[in-house]
A and B are shown apart, each in its own frame.
Chain A
Amino acid sequence: MKTIPPQCPEPEVGPKYWRSLDQVAETPEFREWAEKEFPAGASELTDPVTRRNFVKLMSASFLLAGFGLSGCRRPVEKIVPFGRQPENYIHGKPVYYATAMPTKGGAVPLLVRSHDGRPTKAEGNSGHPDSNGSTDVYAQAALLNLYDPDRSMRSWKREGSGMSAVTAGAVTDALAGISREAAANGGAGLALLLERNTSPSRARLLAELTKKFPSAGVYVYEPVDPYVHVAGATAAFGKPVAPYFTLSSAKAIAAFDADFLGAEENAHVNIRGFAKGRKVDKSSDVMNRLYVVEGAMTVTGTNADHRLRLAPSRIIGALARLGSEVAKLTGSSDIFSSLVSSFPGSNKVGEGTAESWVTTCAADLVANKGMSLVLVGYQQPVVAHVMANAINVALGNVGSTVAYLPALPAEGSIGDLIGKLTAGSVSSLVILGGNPAYNAPVDLDFATAAKKAKNIVRLGYHEDETSALATWHLNQAHFLESWGDARTSDGTLVPVQPLIEPLFNGLTELEVIARIGGFSSVRAYDVVRETFSQQFGGIAQLDADEVWKQFLHDGYLPKSAAKPVVVSLVSGLALAHTAPAAPSKDKLEVVFARDYSLDDGRYNNNGWLQEMPDPVSKIVWENVIAVSATTAKELGLEITKLSSQRIRNGDSLGKALKSNESLVGNDEVTIKVNGREVTGPVWIQPGLADNVVVVALGYGREVTGRVGRKSGFNAYKIRTSSSPYFASGATLTPTGKMLNLATTQEHGSMEGRPIVREATLENWKKKADFATNMDLEAHFPGVVGTYEVKTIGRVENRPKGIYEHPYETYGTNVNSGLGPRADRRQILKSEVHQWGMVIDLNSCVGCSACVVACQSENNVPIVGKDQVLKGREMHWLRIDRYYAGSVEDPQVASQPMMCLHCENAPCESVCPVNATVHDEEGLNVMAYNRCIGTRYCSNNCPYKARRFNFFDYNKRENDYAEVKTTKRGSTSWVTTDAGLYKGIAGVDKNSSAEWEIIKLGKNPNVSVRMRGVMEKCTFCVQRIEEAKINQKVKAGASSNVQVPEGTFTTACAQACPAEAVEFGNLLDPNSRVAKLRASQRNYEVLGFLETRPRVTYLARIRNPNPKMPDAYELAFTMKEYTDAGKGNPLESHHGAHGAAEHGSEAHGAAEKKGAH
């Protein structure tokens, strides 16, 4: 997939791709002159109300440029033709560049696809040794930010009450002014507020800057800060080190409030490691075991084998108790006992069996000494991290599951900065990125303090709350427009390489720091190059340019991973902690969580992320006030009344809550904590600790783009510096109002149906083929008898249908995952490729990266909250989440679901116009041009995998979050088309100019569907075709046209950090997918319907510890299935047959006809 290294460095002139104005206008002086010549046009730019958007700006400016440069008044075309065809460039053929998305605690190495110079899709860089191709949702969605029509498109300066746009030259001058001032007084009065990142170049520049201006202050603020891991390790070991976890080698993992598969930094790397430990081919394989102690219901919690609900403030006590137990069992010194006893009341961990839960868990960890891991999350204080490190040392995990890498010492905190600001000792405050005016702890009152600075320079991607304070707003470049560098969590150096010239002349952080520092090289490229040659140039023997080119090509520097530091615990480690009182119904504990969609709010204006269902609650477009069912009942939230519309569908409160159906119209409540309050909709979340209220950060923005406007409430309003992640003593009172909550899945229970099939490891040992021994296919008589199908490694009986199966004839010879091949006459239309997919439910953690990847790859539109409320989300790939067991302690299972490409597709025969048909390679394809939109196919799809364009979603307005309703819960009677494009009867409010920028991000190989058309997963047919063409070119005259395994994959499979999605050619016996289809765990969802899906699933295996107090014999979903009287899949044959012999025809005939 990779192409030759790009030419480096970028040439100064000679436009290659789509270019910005700067290059046409050449010099800042010219542009300044041009704008002064036309003051009327320039003043338009400063008007905040009628902010002119991209193309208007561009065309106007081009006109000016044309006037100035050539005196020609002809309208300038936007297309810049190639004067000379660049080498290796074929129009329409995408090229891939390696780059990386910098994150707070690392970076996501990426390969970004570029179509004619515009990035269209981010993929994980599979070459990178640590992440090998995995990405997270943010990396998948970051592309949309690049083409955000609401992003900051200009730099401006505050003048009086208004803002006036400034040129790049003026910005340079202003930064030079700050630099001169700092040079004059050694940096006194200069303060830089940064976001956390791992760029070596930034670190180098800051070091040089502080050396040059010793009095200048450098501060870092992250609302959700992963640095506590470093702080904890540093405190434990006495030197600055960062823990680095290798989950793939851990056999027993205990996560204490550590959402390492979800909200923690580098979750995508963790998921890959964790999933590796859960990939089991046969029941004798060793599988890891996950213990989770947490207050909220996190992605990690949904994957736990054992889960203990505990308020976050009590978790440190449980951790200490675990520590004492580990110390006792391993004979290491017990530094935790005193801490345990310091907890008020007793040293009891919690209610009921919690105590024995923790001690049994400790025993299991000790039993897996050296292969266990204790993790503590960012929410917990430093002392908890110190404890976790000490426990890992005691368990002998250092060097195997956890390594300590060198880290940088901490910079100043925002608290320090506020102190200096309040003291009046800051004259120039430079805020690079971030949005402290919105997300700084509310008690610090950042806005008031910041105003004391004479000059506030702000580099921002959006014009947001912080820009509102700034005297200078500089528009920031997207990472796909900038040069930079970063280190991934293992320390490997990765480049941040631009794929496109900055669309709006944005600046990078490196440039701004370099200019303030007054350094000789100020271009970001030069800075990065310099850092590279200084710090990494000596790594290879080759000449520096070659190394650099190779580095950019590969997207990482081989062997640059940080060397682990040898550590030993600080002797005489003294731990002290003041435990707050346990929460009660009058003194609730509020947990502030990083949002799975919006992070800390930085992705607020990203429609893909706003509409990505929360992996646990499946809520979109807003945050909620989540409480447990017990707490809700105790607080007297009138759930039955509140949900009158839905509860009457359910029986008892508990069941209704579990299915979440009661929550369509929701009570609005006010949370009051520390004298501050915030209001939002309540949500009853199964699995939450009692007396705990969980609120996600990042919503309720006041100054933001049109996408994020009106989504959710601002939880930062009650978040103080003393209790950043959980606060005690909160009260919750209903306001009496009702709010609409949009969720993509209303029903959370599987109702005893074997949709997700689960067993424990012990069950699997007992019955190897439990997965196919469920549902009606367990007694398959078929309409006209059965026949035997041999697939690799197994034989199964399939019913013969009345009609011949389109992809096979009845026979017994086999050599592929598809069944009998030798007997196939010319029925299999292609003997080269037959595509299939296998999804391993044991690996899938539900992170949703695939959902966004699919949306990005396939131009799936955003529909908006009002449409989700009506049940019209468009995601081709969804992740179904099911709860089983009690509403308090449920087990959760996630299942990616999309078009399963059935061989006997029920959708195809009912479409009256032949718009959905099968192709030769087993794909169920949609001919959009042919579709008239009867929706019959959707009705007949048992998986409801099809999506209908009820409106022209691509043309809708951007105010997606707004629901124009007047009555709660009444999604039905409200205006149905608020904000939607009304066709000829209305005005297309998406001005064409805005559409110009939005459409840049579309994948040109996939149609953008209009309204009235049905769509669904295509197995990324555009990728299949591309791979086939490439292979044909390669094959030349030979007949070797079969695409080799591993050449390409679908967007979802590519993005999956767990490698849970496997796509490939079933006719290739060596393909992973053919082998997985032969797995004992392989099953078809609703297999009894004989739809013969090409997407099959591998049953999920849970690994409970039988000694645990909450041990279970059957996975809860399997228990529901057996309790529903549908037989026992662990017995040879269930139902009336009991121990009847296997596979006999006689029994099959006696069986009731199941399928139809």
Chain B
Amino acid sequence: MASEAVISNGLPKIQAPPAEIEREPLVHNNRSLAWITEQVASVAEGKTPKWWWPAFIVSFSGMLMMFTMIAYLISTGVGVWGLNQPSAWAWDITNFVFWIGIGHAGTLISAVLFLLRQKWRTSINRAAEAMTIFAVVCAGIFPVVHTGRVWFATLPGYLIPFPNSNGIWPQFRSPLLWDVFAVSTYATVSTLFWYTGLVPDLAVMRDRAKTKLRKFCYGLFALGWSGSNRNWSNYEKAYLILAGLSTPLVLSVHSIVSFDFAVSQLPGWHATIFPPYFVAGAIFSGFGMVLSLMLPLRSLCKLEDLITVRHVELMCKVLLATGSIVGYAYIMEFFIAWYGGNPYELDVFIKNRAADPWIFGPMFKVDPAPYWWAYWAMMSCNVIIPHLFWFKKVRTNMWIVWVLAALVNVGMWFERFNIIVTSLHRDFLPSNWGMFSPTWVDILTFAGSFALFMTLFLLFMKFLPVIAISEVKGVTPQADPHHPLGGARGGHH
């Protein structure tokens, strides 16, 4: 396509490189730099599209509902959720790990792919990072409100180390405390990283602003960006440092979250494979969520030229890779449960999870597991479904990709549900065994967390450039001095 590109900017016709060595361009239709600015900025500047208001009202009401549920929970007691003995954790921590997992794609895309010079990240990193931060916000709510006495949990000295006259410190051996540090660090660094990347674009927004208020607000946050070389030089350094800082966090946060389980001695939790498998799972679910958001976004905001089918395909390949890691982990976990020779461990995998009424139950000669459907929902969504992405036809059909990406998220939610509930509900002593069922408060709180996420995302769309304008421009041919279209011949701002 590119080789046959019609150069329409009135400049002399230049021989395009041969088709076989040409990569598919990251911006389709050879859009000019001005077009990119215009197109991206108009999402935040232009007239609010018709669909935005209903979406926002629904999300916002859902968010209010979530806060109502939380108020009810805190005023009345954690018992309004379906938790019990033995399942002292259920949807609360499931949702926490689910959202934290989703929050992984942003950092991976922005930091790891940046360091690896994967240029295709530029058109998705902004939204993915925003998504990360919003997901971490959603995630952070659950472990806080799931405590029995929130008013103490949030006091310094309980979870936050704080020198006090009693000399009492938090328990530094507890993975929950590590969570506090890991998640708060992650949230801080992700936010800084996102904001740093936003600065040049905020300046663009400031410069384009037509009202004083907008000018003031964008100007405030643009930190006096002037686009000077000095600005750019400092910016690039800061961005690189933050990328370097964020990269280990991609690995650490979910490793530490996995310690919540791996460090305990509960069969089904006590597994050394958890840290890598949680990280892979987190990236898997994060990309699932990025796709779920980007596909509607590119279509509704007419950004198909920026978020191209190639982007979607690449993300599908990431899903395929991480999905395979996750699938390997599931099977390896099962193998180790058998190979480890601990019957309590094996019982969790067979009797609590895998034994369905028709195939595996009869095969192992055991009763169907109470939550076999949850286990197999996880297995099908996370292990079988990603393998459809081997087919280009699947990867390039946006509708199918969207459905499969959504299923990946369903599967990843069930993964956490499986780990938590199916391990807890039947542990060592059969006398403790019991079932967990959610209550309407559980369900509405979880649904509300999606609404909170969507509310934040819609506001983000409304006020900030959803695509990193300056970075996308940097990967266009026009930005490449050696490219026939680049350098002086290139477009103009």
Contacts and interface: CB of A to CB of B under 8 A. Distances in A.
B412 to A, nearest CB: 21
Contacts of B228: none
Interface string B251-272: 0000000001001111000100
A445 B264 CA distance: 63
B17 interface: no
Given A755-B430, A933-B147, A1014-B148, A939 B76 contact: no
Contacts of B428: 753, 755, 942-944, 1086
A957 to B, nearest CB: 14
Dominant secondary structure at the A interface: loop
A910 B176 contact: yes
A934 B147 contact: yes
Given A897-B429, A939-B88, A942-B428, A972 B82 contact: yes
B170 A913 contact: yes
Interface stretch (B27-35, B338-346, B381-389): B338-346
Contacts of B82: 870, 972, 976
B441 A976 contact: yes
Given A976-B441, A1011-B77, A1154-B341, A933 B148 contact: yes
Nearest to B357: A648
A535 interface: no
B264 A940 contact: yes
Contacts of B175: 910
A985 B177 CA distance: 31
Nearest to A656: B367
**Which among B149, B168, B357 has the highest number of chain A CB atoms within 10 Å?**
B149
Contacts of A758: none
Interface string A1116-1156: 00000000101000000000000000000000000011111
Interface stretch (A112-120, A742-750, A1044-1052): A742-750
Contact of A897 (B366, B431, B433): B431
Given A914-B168, A1012-B149, A1156-B270, A880 B431 contact: yes
Interface residues of A, number: 85
Nearest to A873: B85
Nearest to B351: A751
Contact of A936 (B176, B342, B368, B427): B176
A1155 B428 CA distance: 13
A944 to B, nearest CB: 4
A795 B138 CA distance: 55
B76 A649 contact: no
Interface string A1004-1042: 000000111110000000000000000000000000000
Interface stretch (B124-132, B152-160, B237-245): B152-160
A900 to B, nearest CB: 11
Contacts of A755: 428-431
A1011 B367 CA distance: 37
Contact of B266 (A881, A939, A946, A949): A939
Contacts of B71: 985
Nearest to A942: B428
B343 A971 contact: no
Interface string A722-753: 00000000000000000000000111111101
Nearest to A927: B168
A867 B341 CA distance: 37
Interface string A915-948: 0000000000000001111111011101110111
A1060 to B, nearest CB: 18
Given A913-B171, A933-B78, A1014-B148, A938 B270 contact: no
B83 A935 contact: yes
A913 B158 contact: yes
Interface residues of B, number: 73
A1155 B342 contact: yes
B3 interface: no
Contacts of A1126: 343
A1089 interface: yes
A187 B428 CA distance: 68
Nearest to A1156: B270
Contacts of B366: 651
Contacts of A939: 88-89, 264, 266, 424
A878 B441 CA distance: 30
B369 A649 contact: yes
A22 interface: no
Nearest to B171: A914
Nearest to A986: B76
Given A911-B174, A952-B77, A980-B76, A934 B146 contact: yes
A1012 B434 contact: no
Interface string A638-675: 00000000101111000110010000000000000000
B176 A980 contact: no
Nearest to B425: A871
Contact of B341 (A649, A912, A1153): A1153
Which of B78, B85, B366, B369 gathers most chain A CB within 10 Å?
A: B85
Contacts of B433: 746-747
B370 interface: yes
A951 to B, nearest CB: 4
B119 to A, nearest CB: 42
Contacts of A948: 78, 85, 88, 148
A932 B170 contact: no
A913 B440 contact: no
Interface in B314-373: 340-344, 347, 357, 361, 366-370
A942 B266 CA distance: 7
A973 interface: yes
A944 B75 contact: no
A745 B367 contact: no
Contacts of A983: 74-77
Contacts of B87: 871
A984 interface: yes
A871 B148 contact: no
A931 B176 contact: no
Contacts of A909: 171, 173-174, 263
Contact of B85 (A871, A880, A881, A977): A871
A1112 interface: no
Which residue of A650, A933, A983, A1086 has the most chain B CB atoms within 10 A of its CB atom? Answer: A933
A984 B75 contact: yes
B52 interface: no
A880 B366 CA distance: 23
Most buried by B among A870, A984, A986, A1152: A870
Interface in B384-408: none
Contacts of A747: 426, 430-431, 433
Interface string A750-785: 110101000000000000000000001000000000
Contacts of B296: none
A753 B86 contact: no
A872 interface: yes
A951 B83 CA distance: 12
A420 interface: no
A982 interface: yes
A415 interface: no
10 contacts: A649-B367, A747-B431, A776-B342, A906-B264, A911-B171, A934-B148, A936-B174, A938-B85, A976-B80, A983-B76
Given A932-B152, A976-B80, 20 more contacts: A650-B367, A748-B430, A753-B429, A870-B79, A880-B429, A910-B175, A911-B171, A933-B148, A939-B89, A939-B264, A940-B266, A943-B428, A944-B86, A948-B85, A951-B77, A971-B437, A976-B441, A982-B75, A1014-B148, A1154-B342
Interface of B: 71-72, 74-89, 143, 146-150, 152-153, 158-159, 168-171, 173-177, 180, 260, 263-266, 270, 340-344, 347, 357, 361, 366-370, 424, 426-435, 437-441
Interface of A: 646, 648-651, 655-656, 659, 745-751, 753, 755, 776, 867, 870-873, 878, 880-882, 895, 897, 906, 908-914, 930-936, 938-940, 942-944, 946-952, 971-974, 976-977, 980-986, 1010-1014, 1085-1086, 1089, 1124, 1126, 1152-1156
